[in-house]
Amino acid sequence: MDDRKVIEQFAPLFSPRTVAVIGASTKGTALPNVFIRRIREFGYTGEIYPIHPSAEQIDGLTAYRTLADTPKPVDYAYIAVSAAQIPDMLAAAKGHVRYAQVISSGFGEVDEGKDLQNVLAASARAGGMRLIGPNCLGLYTPRGRVTFTEIGPKELGPVGIISQSGGLGTDIIRRGMNRGLKFSGLVTVGNCADVTPSDLAEFYLADPETRVIGMYIETAQDGRRLFEILREAKGRKPVVILKGGRTQQGLAAAASHTGSLAGDDRVWVALSRQTGCIMVNTLDEFIDVLLAFQTLTPRPQHPTQRVVLFGNGGGTSVLATDFFARLGLDVAPFDKQTVGALAALKLPPGTSITNPVDAPVGTLQQEEGRVAEKILDIIYGSGKPEALVMHLNMSAFVGRTRPEVLDNLVQAALRIQSHYPGQAHFVLVLRSDGEPALEERKREFRAKAGALGIPVYDEMVNAGAALAAVQAHERFVHTRRP
C-alpha cells in the first residue's frame, strides 16, 4: 500500500476528531470515566460521546444510546464493559465508527473466550470498523491529544510504539519519558483480533512523524506479513523489537534435524538479519536503543566501528573497552600522530592519552572545561572516531568542583561536535552511586542534555548496547542499499 493511503487510513486513530466511550458510569468512577478525564487533561478538544443505555449525561457530556446514534461519525471508540455485550454493540454501529478499541478481557486470552473473540471480530467487520484489542489498555497519541495513561509527554516525538502488553505499554511511556523519549504514538494491541502489529508497523513506516519504531511482541500471528513489510522497507526506519515468549513449535514433534534445531527463537534472529530490525531482550535495552535512534542520525555510508571513550574512571574505561569489543565496537589505541598531539597538551599526570582517554577530575575541570575541549578537538580532528562516549563519574566531582563544570564539559563537547558535523555519534554516560543528592543532580543534568539532543545513559554497557544497535542498523542499510 502506498504511504499516503496508509496515513489516511490511520488518521482517525491517531488524530480522532470524535471519541466515543462505552463503559463510563454516571457515578464517574469507572475506568472509562478516568479515560474521559485523562484525555481532557491531555488537551483533547474534539467531541466526546459517552454511550450509555439510559443516562442522559455522563461527566457533563450528553450520552447516546448506541454507537450509531452519535451526532457525527465516531473516529475512535474506547470500550470497557463486560465482554459478552460488546459484539452486539459493534454490530449495531452500522458503519458509523472507524476504530474501536476493546479494553475488556475475557476473549482469546482464555480458553472459554476464544469463540467470543471470533464473534467480536466478525461483529466489528459487520459494523464496518477496524478493531483494536481486545484485552489491552488503550492508545497514547500526542498528535491527537488522546492518552490512556495518567502521565506521558505532551510533545509529539519520533518514537512509534506497538505493544502487545498494556502494562508494558504504560512502562514504556513512563520510564521512557524519564529517559527523554518522545513518542509519535503508542498503541496497545492486546489479542490482535483484527489490527495487528504489522498493520501499525506499516503505518509508522509511512508516518512522517515517526523516525524509529519499537515493538513489544508476544506472538506474531501474521509473522509472514511482518516479515514482508519489514523486508520491503529495507531499513527505511530503524525497527526495535522486544520479543516476549518463545515459540514452542517444532521441538517435541520435530522429525528432522532441521525441526529439532529450530525450536527456539531462531526465526526472530533470521527476521532481524533479513530486515535489519534490532532484537533486544529487556525493557531497559529497548528504551536505551530507542533513545539512541531518537537522538542520533544513523550514517549508513560509514557504519560505526571506531569508538573513543573519554571520561574519568580508569577501571570503567577498561571494562567498557572489553564490553564494547564483545559487541563488535573497537576502542582501538590512537595512532602516533594523535598521541603526539595529545602529549603536546602536557596534561597533568594520571591522564591517559591513548584510547580510552582516561582523564581524572583534576584534568577535566582545568580552565572551566576548556582543556577538555582541546583534548576533544584533537580526538575528532586526528583520531577520527565514529562515536564518542563521554563518561562522567559524578561522585568524583562532588565536593571538588563547581556545579558548572559538568555543563562546561558537555558544552565543550557540543562545540567540537559542531566543528566536525556528521563525523561522530556523541553519547553521554552519567554514572552515579545512587546517593539521592547525586541522583537528583543527574536527573536535572539528564534533562538538560536531553534538550540538547544528547542521549544519556546510566552505564557504559547501556551506551554500548545502544551504539551496537545503531551500528547494526547502519550496516544493514549499507549492505542492502549500496
Partner 1 sequence: MDMNQIIIDARKHGRAALDEQSGKALLAGYGVAVPRTAVVSGAAGVDAALKQLKTPVVVKIMSPDILHKSDAGGVKVNLASAAEAMAAIDAMAASPKIKGARIDGYLIEEMAPAGQEIVVGGLRDAQFGPLVMVGLGGIFVEVLADVSFRICPISRLDAQEMLDELKGAPILKGARGRKAVSRDAIVDVLLKVGGENGLLMRHAAEIREADINPLIVSETAAMAVDARFILG
Contacts with partner 1 by CB under 8 A lie at: 219-224, 227, 247, 249-250, 254-259, 261-262, 266-267, 269-271, 273-274, 479-480
183-188 and 307-311 strand pairing: unpaired
Closest distance of CB 298 from partner 1, Å: 19
Give the residue with the Cβ less far from partner 1, 251 or 447. Answer: 251
Closest distance of CB 464 from partner 1, Å: 21
Give the residue with the Cβ less far from partner 1, 1 or 251. Answer: 251
Closest distance of CB 443 from partner 1, Å: 42
As a whole number of angstroms, the distance between CA 443 and CA 178 comes to: 9
Closest distance of CB 274 from partner 1, Å: 6
Give the residue with the Cβ less far from partner 1, 78 or 227. Answer: 227
Residues 6+ apart with CB under 8 A from 87: 116, 119, 120, 122, 123
As a whole number of angstroms, the distance between CA 189 and CA 169 comes to: 10
Give the residue with the Cβ less far from partner 1, 174 or 236. Answer: 236
Give the residue with the Cβ less far from partner 1, 326 or 443. Answer: 326
Closest distance of CB 222 from partner 1, Å: 7
Give the residue with the Cβ less far from partner 1, 269 or 447. Answer: 269
Alpha helices in 276-389 (DSSP H): 283-295, 314-326, 336-343, 361-364, 370-378
Residue 368: count other Cβ atoms within 10 Å of its Cβ: 17
Burial (CB count within 10 angstroms: exposed 0-12, middle 13-18, buried 19+), residue 4: exposed
Closest distance of CB 262 from partner 1, Å: 5
As a whole number of angstroms, the distance between CA 191 and CA 352 comes to: 55
Give the residue with the Cβ less far from partner 1, 4 or 257. Answer: 257
Closest distance of CB 270 from partner 1, Å: 5
Give the residue with the Cβ less far from partner 1, 84 or 261. Answer: 261
Closest distance of CB 114 from partner 1, Å: 17
As a whole number of angstroms, the distance between CA 183 and CA 175 comes to: 12
Whether residue 12 is preceded by a cis peptide bond, meaning omega within 30 degrees of 0, is: no
The C-alpha cell 511482541 sits at 217
Nearest to 144 by CA among 78, 46, 31, 38: 46
As a whole number of angstroms, the distance between CA 386 and CA 20 comes to: 50
